[in-house]
Structures are given as C-alpha cells and as structure tokens.
Amino acid sequence: MAPTKQEIPLQHVDEVVIRFAGDSGDGMQLTGTQFTDTSAMMGNDLATFPDYPAEIRAPIGTLFGVSGFQVRFASKDIHTPGDRPDVLVAMNPAALKVNIDDLKEGGLLIVNTGNFGKRDLVKAHYEENPLDNPLLEEKYQLVAIDLNEATLKAVESTGLSNKDALRCKNLLALGMLYHTYSRPLAHTEKWLTGKFGKKPAILEANLLALRAGANIAENSELFKSTFQVSPAPLPGGKYRNIGGNQALAMGLVAGCKLAEKPLYYGSYPITPASDVLHALSRYKNYGVTTFQAEDEIAAICSAIGASYAGSVGMTGTSGPGLALKGEALGLAVMIELPLVVVDVQRAGPSTGLPTKTEQADLNQALYGRNSEAPLPVISTSSPADCFEAAVEAVRIAVTYMTPVVLLSDGYIGNGAEPFLIPEVSSLKPFPKAFHTDPENFQPYSRDENLARPWAIPGTPGLEHRVGGLEKADLTGAVSYDAENHEKMTLLRENKVKKVADTYAPLEVFGPETADLLVLGWGSTYGAIRGAVERSQEAGLSVAQLNLRNLWPLHNDLGDVLKRYKKVLIPELNRGQLCRLIRAEYLVDAVSLPKVQGKPFMSGELVDAIKQQLAE
C-alpha cells in the first residue's frame, strides 16, 4: 500500500506580514501588488510598503539594487505595513543580506538557491554562502528551493527561452505563498489573462509557473503549516484597493466636481509624485487637462494661468521641485488665485534619497517664499486619506482664493490600503461662482471669507490688472504706498487665518486627559496609532492626536495640548512641527526625530512612550 501524504495543518492567525525582495527586474513590486489585490478581494484589511532602489536599473545582484515590497494583511483593523516581516522571500544573496535582520525570529525564510552562485555571493559581499550556516536554519523556518530550476521545469512545454522563462519565477514564488496563506489563484489568473492575452506563450508560462508554485507548496514537505487569515470586520460598503497617489488624483477630480470647475494639472516628472500626473491623465472625460511641462517653474506658472482663465490650477512635485516653485507660489499669493500644489515628499536635501520617504518639507511649505506669503498647508495621513485631503485642498483653494500646499510623502504615495468608496451624496458641494456683474466691480473687494472675486478674462466690464507688484486695496492697481502694503499684507494673512474657522473640532484618540499626548502629522499616523493602542492595552496613560491642517493650526489646539502633562512629537524630520508647536503655544513638547529614509515602526514608538512616562 502506498504511504499517504502527511496532511499539513491549517493555523488561523490574525495577521501576517510578508516581504518580497529581489532585483529590480525580479518583479517584486508586481508580486507584492498581486498578493495585495488578492488579499483585498478576500476582505482583509491591509497596508503595503513598496521599497524601490534609487537607480533605475542597478547592476544585477548588488546591495543597492534590491527592490522590496512589504504587505501586511489582517482580520482586524490595522494602520501600518507592520514592523518586522513574518515571511521573507529572498530572490538572491543581496536581498537576503539587506533584509534578513528584519525577519522575526522563527519567521518563514524562502530563499531562491538558484541565484546563490559564486558571483552572486561576491556581488552581495558574502565571503561564504550564508545558506551553509546552520544558525540560519536554527533561527528561521528555512525553505531553500531552486526557483530557477522549478520555473524552467514548470514552463518547459511553452518553448520559451531560458531567459524569458526565468521571468516567471516570481509567479512561482507567488503561487507558493498563495497556497501557504490560503489565497485563491483566480484573481491573478484573470489579471494575467488580461495582460498577456495577445501573447499566448507568455500567458501560458506565467499561469503554469503560478500553478506550479501552489502545487509545490501543497505536495512537498517544504512547508510545515498553512495559514488562514479571516476577513476583517470593516464598515459596510463598497471597497477597492487603492494607492496613495491614485487616491490623491481621485480626490482632486472629485474636489473640482464639487467646486463645479474644470481641473488643470501642470507638472514636471519627479519621484515619487509622477504617478499623480499619470493617474490624472486618465480622467479626461471628467474635465481634466494635464500638461507635462519642460520644468518645475513652467509647470506652476501654467497652473496659475489656468486658474486665471477659470480652471482650478494644480501642480505636483517633490521637495526639490517645491523649492523651484517658490517664487511662483509667491505670485499666486499676491494675485490671490486658487492653486493646489501637491508635494509628495522624499528624503533630501537636493536629490537626496529620491525613492525613500521623509516628511521634511514642512518648513519649506510654511515659509519657503520671500517676504510675508502665508498660505494654508494640509497633510494626508494614509493612502486612503489622500482622497479626503485632496478634496479639502480644493475646497480651501476655491473658497478662499488662495494657493494651498498639500503634503503627502513617498511612504503614503506608493503605499496601498482598502478604500471605502464614498457615496456621492455624502460629498458636500462647494460651488464657486465666477463674478460676472460689472456694476461697482472691484477686483480686490472681499467677501465674508476675505476672498476676492474670481473674474475670468473676457468677461465684459471686468477687465483688471494682475501681477506680482503690490495691489492697491479694492482696485488692484499697482501701489507703492507704505500703509496700503501693510494693509494688504494683513488682509492676506487674516484671510488664511480664517480657514481655521471651518475646521471640525479636533478628535483625540484616547482619554481627554492623560500623562502623555503623542502628537503627529502625515504618515506617522499609522505607526503612532499602533503604538498608542498597544500602550493603552498595557495600561499606560497615553493618547494620540493627528493634525491634518498644519497651517493655520486648529483654533482649539492650544486647549487640547494643555490637557496633557507631556507632549511627544514623532516626525520623519529633525523636529519641524515640534518647533512650530513650541513657538505657537509655549508648550514644552519633546521631539522624536527620524531621518533614515524609513518610516517609524510602532515598536520603536512604544519604547519612546515608555521612556517618556518613566521620566
């Protein structure tokens, strides 16, 4: 009698963190995206962290060419892609070396031994093969498999060359993980069919590799367990998996629809903001015009011109581009036209670390213009939140006739999570009418928001002058009068201050009074929320407050800060918000800076919270 196959036990777990790592050409981003999309279809809450190398195509097998994609999927509400992975898929020695220290002890380590030749080891600066070290198998659940050989065997019938066949090895690894974590193949099979339907040999090879991976995981003894992560109890509604830059683009389109104005987006390509331009270019049927300019200055000046002509002018960039746009931003402040400037921040200064995250452009957004040139600054805290933040940016810009800076960052822009698609009826319109009545028209008269009229060119009787020279109150004529200059400066300043009157009251997560308040903005939200939840579960007296509106600050922020004995401000910069809070409210806030091109982990914030409460 033939021996029966030993059944692999199924374990139910609340969450799993997987990191795929390999060369830029190994398809790690595609693999991670497919696993993410499939998990979203299964109803899990999830968060992702794509980690790109700075080089477009670094030399194969080198440490600085490693591309990674981390996904956390769970049966509960989560806020970050996870601190340390439970699973690491390393496609070559460089991927192993860069990522192995992050893998949890006892975690699952899948290594492609087919890329562990002598030259591969030298490129990764290994003197000996790390797979020969018995400590690796003692510390982790090591699955050493030649993915290259397994892929070639799986797709042999297609007749593809070895080079083309090996491009499918990421799908074989994906199939292994689909079986191990009880994910169906159907979603990826459908995606492959749509992508390669006109290339039948390539389609067949990818499908064979995907299915072979699942078969290997099911029928070999490489894997000791399989796992099940149940759907998360998310609020009812229709969801889609969405990236931060895509959600931001959708929010800008929705905002212009709510303002009943066309959208113009002029931008120059720059990492990591280029995807906003790409996404908006697909919305021509929603009254969207996109323009790829020859440089950053041309991009913002074209957007200002579009606003003058009656569109909501917008431009997008990252830190270096925001610096170039500074003079034109001052022009937009002076002539008082709506403008939205998207800054998807990255590590700097200068070119810096263009594919790594940071939130160090706050000072530049607040003050990066000559003279007194205040404007509203808002931030987004997660990929899904980009939608609402973008709508808010458009609302402020058209309501107050002012430029607005919207701060995102690479961590948010490249990340993804489930997005609850809002009902159209839940989006409150804020239509902005053009001024059309020539009787008693004054181009710099003010409404209740201190906003001037939006009078577009070609309207009879509304001819007026615009430009960078100081405006006379009401008439907008060029004025060099000293008292008028001070009056106009204060009018522009007070107009921006009035934006705060429309904010909703601040909401603190946790007790209204406590020993410690952890205050954050932007992409630190998720890590802070996770750390505060863990600290509260441990009985610590701590609360969280996240700021979307960074200027003007909330009218009730000072009162909230006074309710807590200590204030801790984690930031991916050298303490820019902390200095602002200390200056505005004379609060002895403590800065927790980090500038490593990486986001905070909840675990390190838990340690910081404990340290503050112990002092």
**Radius of gyration over every alpha carbon of the chain, rounded to an integer in angstroms:** 27
Same domain assignment for residues 282 and 395: yes
Burial classification of residue 391, based on how many CB atoms lie within 10 Å of its CB (0-12 exposed, 13-18 middle, 19 or more buried)? buried
For residue 525, what is the domain's CATH number? 3.40.50.920
Answer whether residue 458 is part of any domain. no
pLDDT tens-place string over residues 46-90: 999 999 998 877 889 999 999 999 999 999 999 999 999 999 999
* Residue-averaged pLDDT of the chain: 96
Distance of alpha carbon 120 from alpha carbon 112, whole angstroms:
12
- Cα-flanking dihedrals φ and ψ of residue 339, to 5°? -160, 135
Position 74 scores a pLDDT of 98
Distance of alpha carbon 150 from alpha carbon 147, whole angstroms:
5
Burial classification of residue 241, based on how many CB atoms lie within 10 Å of its CB (0-12 exposed, 13-18 middle, 19 or more buried)? buried
- 203 near 153, Cβ under 8 Å? no
User: Token pair of 156, please?
Assistant: 């042999």
**Sorting pLDDT into bands at 50, 70 and 90, what band is 5?**
low
For residue 145, what is the domain's CATH number? 3.40.920.10
Distance of alpha carbon 113 from alpha carbon 99, whole angstroms:
16
pLDDT tens-place string over residues 564-584: 999 999 999 999 999 999 999
Burial classification of residue 127, based on how many CB atoms lie within 10 Å of its CB (0-12 exposed, 13-18 middle, 19 or more buried)? exposed
Cα 506 → chain centroid:
23
- Which of 402, 426, 450 is where one domain is finished? 426
For residue 340, list its beta bridge partners. Answer: 314, 404
How many other C-beta atoms can be found within 10 angstroms of the C-beta atom of residue 500? Answer: 16
Within 13 Å of residue 32, how many CA atoms lie on the same side as its CB?
34
- Cα-flanking dihedrals φ and ψ of residue 40, to 5°? -65, -40
User: Token pair of 39, please?
Assistant: 């998990």
Answer whether residue 332 is part of any domain. yes
Same domain assignment for residues 218 and 314: no
The pTM for the full model equals 0.95
- 97 near 63, Cβ under 8 Å? yes
Same domain assignment for residues 29 and 101: yes
- 477 near 484, Cβ under 8 Å? no
Position 12 scores a pLDDT of 96
- Which of 184, 200, 228 is where one domain is finished? 228
pLDDT tens-place string over residues 252-273: 999 999 999 999 999 999 999 9
Distance of alpha carbon 165 from alpha carbon 296, whole angstroms:
42
Domain range for 407 is 240-426
Same domain assignment for residues 223 and 342: no
Same domain assignment for residues 244 and 224: no
Same domain assignment for residues 244 and 388: yes
Within 13 Å of residue 38, how many CA atoms lie on the same side as its CB?
25
Position 54 scores a pLDDT of 84
Same domain assignment for residues 156 and 278: no
Answer whether residue 509 is part of any domain. no
User: Token pair of 374, please?
Assistant: 């205040």
For residue 369, what is the domain's CATH number? 3.40.50.970
Distance of alpha carbon 558 from alpha carbon 444, whole angstroms:
33
Contacts (Cβ under 8 Å, ≥6 apart) of 483: none
Closest CA to 17 of 47, 50, 53: 47
Answer whether residue 506 is part of any domain. no
Within 13 Å of residue 578, how many CA atoms lie on the same side as its CB?
21
Distance of alpha carbon 614 from alpha carbon 516, whole angstroms:
11
Sign of CA dihedral 59, 60, 64, 65: positive
Same domain assignment for residues 100 and 182: yes
Q: CA of 471: how far to CAs of 19, 301, 434, 480, 483, in Å? A: 56, 19, 21, 8, 12
pLDDT tens-place string over residues 310-331: 999 999 999 999 999 999 999 9
Q: CA of 298: how far to CAs of 271, 316, 327, 464, 584, in Å? A: 18, 12, 12, 24, 35
- 256 near 262, Cβ under 8 Å? yes
Answer whether residue 251 is part of any domain. yes
Same domain assignment for residues 216 and 264: no
**Sorting pLDDT into bands at 50, 70 and 90, what band is 1?**
very low
Same domain assignment for residues 170 and 28: yes
Answer whether residue 450 is part of any domain. no
pLDDT tens-place string over residues 345-360: 999 999 999 999 999 9
Answer whether residue 5 is part of any domain. no
Residue 3 has pLDDT above 60, yes or no: no
Answer whether residue 472 is part of any domain. no
How many domains in the chain?
3
- Return the SS3 of 417: strand
- Which of 228, 258, 273 is where one domain is finished? 228
- 466 near 307, Cβ under 8 Å? no
Same domain assignment for residues 102 and 222: yes
Same domain assignment for residues 83 and 194: yes
Report the alpha-carbon angle 89-93-99, nearest 5. Answer: 55
pLDDT tens-place string over residues 470-514: 999 999 999 999 999 999 999 999 999 999 999 999 999 999 999
